[in-house]
Amino acid sequence: SINWARVVAQVVYYFTSAVAVGAPHRAVDFTVPTGNFGDIFAGYVAKRMGLPVRTLRVATNVNDILARTLATGSYEVREVHETTTPSMDIQVSSNFERLLFEAGGRDAGTVRRL
């Protein structure tokens, strides 16, 4: 979902999960299956809010637009392959733009030029 309210709600379970395994007294790592980037972006938001997140890892299926983009720096859309994980069967991760906005200093013009 690209709905900001959903991302905000997902931030809550990052805090809940992290506390369950020892935060804030130790840093935590998350590996998140994602296609649309919303859930893992919520982890990024939680980290920005002060949660001691050491690592956020993206887990993908064969439709690996996010892993490829993070590894190569190139957002190259390819054919979508149907799998048993349909929520990850995408090539346009609408929430990824939110991370680009943050990385670009919250400057929409910078993101637009990408």
For residue 1, what pLDDT is reported? 64
- pLDDT, one tens digit per residue, over 8-18 is 999 999 999 99
Banded pLDDT at 114 (limits 50, 70, 90)? confident
Banded pLDDT at 2 (limits 50, 70, 90)? confident
Q: What's 23's domain CATH number?
A: 3.40.50.1100
Number of neighbours of residue 99 by Cβ within 10 angstroms: 18
For residue 113, what pLDDT is reported? 86
Rg of the chain in Å (alpha carbons): 15
- pLDDT, one tens digit per residue, over 47-75 is 999 999 999 999 999 999 988 998 999 99
Please, how many CA atoms are within 13 Å of residue 61, restricted to the half-sphere of its CB? 16
Paired strand residues for 29: 55
For residue 111, what pLDDT is reported? 87
Instruction: Supply φ then ψ for residue 37, to 5 degrees.
Output: 75, 0
Number of domains the chain contains? 1
Domain that holds residue 71: 4-113
**DSSP state for residue 91 in the 8-state scheme:** S
Mean per-residue pLDDT over the chain, rounded: 93
- pLDDT, one tens digit per residue, over 76-107 is 999 999 999 998 999 998 898 899 999 999 99
